């Protein structure tokens, strides 16, 4: 199900296309218009962000409190994470356009030092290879979510898709800065991700996208016995696999022995897949442990810088859980995770369980200017009080 809103808002904007200095007029995203391909409309509204179930994470406890009310403008979000096929198409186009280059099996901006993506020549867990001329998807994994992608690689994909569709690019790839007032593709903020993941369910607030039941037939997490949990890693599943239907091995070429497998329905109220399990999803936000104590109530964009991790460095956040580790794959909708914590070999564990999905703001140019929140020093127990009657 894709939510449709009756109100239509359009405007004309002007911007430079693909860095060519061409100024053209386009219609910004319209509420009520047909959703962009692969996107679902999330209506404007508010919710109480944070943990409503009293969970305490032993690695970074109390970062899901205080529960606080947040209001968000309407936005589109990807129905599923970006796939290997979609990402390989981006890599081919960007290398052909001399925007990216392959060095030693790694993908970089031309002349750049920051690794954007690992092909199979760098990581055996990647399912995209490079033959010197083109990128290709391995083992018929076209519909699986892309993994082995760094945050900067996800941002570069966002800019590429924006340019391909004649939209303004949101990211300065040299700095990583995001312009929230451009109607191009970007990564979701932490607030947008959680609001979308809850699927409109607020009375009561649930632990998972579909409810409070930890149902391993609805998501690809460690407790799942789906037929893709065999063979070489990563044990990802095709996007949209958990749709409540009977699947056949002949249609998917899975490595397991089962000839058929009955999937539970893992979609939430907005029709979004894989908001629990399969792969972690990059956020736009830096991970700020105490950000909930001083986050703005309106369209919070994340802190201006991240909390230092044990290695002293800041990291971007990620949401949604994964196929690999943790109870229920860390897939509670309120769970916060800095990308420093990728597995038992932190911080050098493979990126074989991190992917991303896209967001597109509705009428971005017309809203108030949004900039990252200056970091505030917070003592635990201080900051915004929780909504009345909510458990901490």
User: How far is it, in rounded angstroms, from Cα 89 to Cα 230?
Assistant: 27
Tokens 């990126």 locate to 351
What is the pLDDT at residue 255? 96
Residues of the chain below pLDDT 70? 1-34, 344, 380-392
How far is it, in rounded angstroms, from Cα 293 to Cα 377? 10
Q: Which two tokens stand for residue 18?
A: 């693909």
Closest of 225, 80, 192 to residue 146, by C-alpha: 80
Q: Would 61 be classed as within a structural domain?
A: yes
- Residue 90 inside a domain? The answer is no
Q: What is the pTM of this model?
A: 0.89
Query: Can you tell me the distance from the alpha carbon of 172 to that of 185, in angstroms, rounded to the nearest whole number?
Result: 13
Q: Is 297 within a domain?
A: yes
CB atoms within 10 A of CB 390: 17
Range of the domain at 201: 12-83+143-216+269-366
Residue 113 lies in a domain: no
Q: Phi first, then psi: what are they for 366, rounded to 5°? A: -90, -10
Q: Quick check: bond before 344 cis, omega within 30?
A: no
DSSP conformation class of 306: P
- On whether residue 198 sits in a domain, the answer given is yes
In a domain? residue 235? no
Q: What pLDDT shows up at residue 61?
A: 76
Counting the structural domains of the chain, the total is 1
| CATH at residue 189 | 3.90.1580.10
CA 318 to chain centre: 7
| Cα separation values, 303 from 24, 134, 170, 283, 300, Å | 33, 38, 17, 12, 9
Quick: pLDDT tens for 25-65.
333 444 445 679 899 999 999 999 999 999 887 777 789 99
Number of DSSP helices (H) and strands (E) in the chain, helices first: 4, 21
- Residue 119, pLDDT score: 98
Q: What's the pLDDT at 58? A: 78
């Amino acid at each position: 199900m894709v939510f449709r809103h009756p109100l239509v808002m359009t405007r004309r904007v002007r911007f430079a296309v693909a860095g060519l200095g061409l100024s053209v007029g386009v219609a910004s995203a319209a509420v009520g218009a047909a959703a962009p391909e692969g996107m679902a409309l999330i209506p404007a509204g508010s919710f109480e962000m944070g943990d409503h179930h009293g969970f305490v994470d032993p690695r970074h406890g109390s970062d899901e409190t205080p529960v606080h009310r947040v209001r968000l403008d309407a936005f589109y979000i990807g129905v599923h994470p970006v796939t290997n096929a979609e990402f390989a198409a981006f890599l081919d186009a960007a290398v052909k356009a001399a925007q990216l280059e392959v060095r030693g099996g790694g993908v970089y901006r031309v002349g750049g030092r920051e690794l954007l993506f690992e092909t199979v020549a760098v990581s055996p867990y990647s399912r995209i290879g490079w033959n010197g001329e083109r990128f290709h998807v391995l083992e018929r994994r076209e519909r699986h979510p892309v993994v082995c992608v760094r945050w900067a690689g996800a941002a570069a994909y966002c800019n590429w898709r924006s340019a391909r569709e004649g939209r303004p690019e949101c990211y300065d790839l040299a700095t990583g800065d995001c312009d929230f007032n451009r109607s191009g593709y970007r990564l979701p903020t932490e607030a947008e991700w959680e609001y979308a993941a809850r699927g409109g369910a607020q009375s009561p607030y649930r632990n998972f996208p579909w409810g409070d039941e930890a149902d391993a037939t609805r998501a690809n997490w460690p407790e799942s016995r789906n037929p893709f949990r065999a063979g070489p890693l990563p044990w990802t599943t095709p996007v949209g696999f958990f749709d409540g239907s009977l699947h056949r091995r002949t249609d998917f070429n899975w490595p397991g022995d089962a000839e058929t497998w009955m999937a539970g329905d893992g979609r939430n109220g907005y029709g979004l897949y894989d908001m629990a399990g399969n792969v972690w999803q990059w956020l736009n936000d830096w991970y700020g442990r105490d950000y909930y104590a001083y986050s703005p109530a309106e369209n919070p964009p994340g802190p201006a810088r991240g909390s230092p991790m044990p290695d002293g460095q800041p990291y971007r956040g990620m949401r949604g859980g994964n196929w690999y580790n943790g109870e229920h794959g860390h897939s509670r909708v309120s769970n916060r995770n800095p990308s420093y914590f990728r597995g038992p070999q932190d911080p050098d564990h493979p990126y074989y369980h991190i992917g991303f999905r896209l967001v597109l703001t509705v009428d971005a140019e017309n809203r108030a200017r949004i900039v990252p929140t200056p970091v505030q020093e917070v003592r635990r127990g201080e900051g915004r009080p929780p909504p009345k009657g909510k458990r901490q």
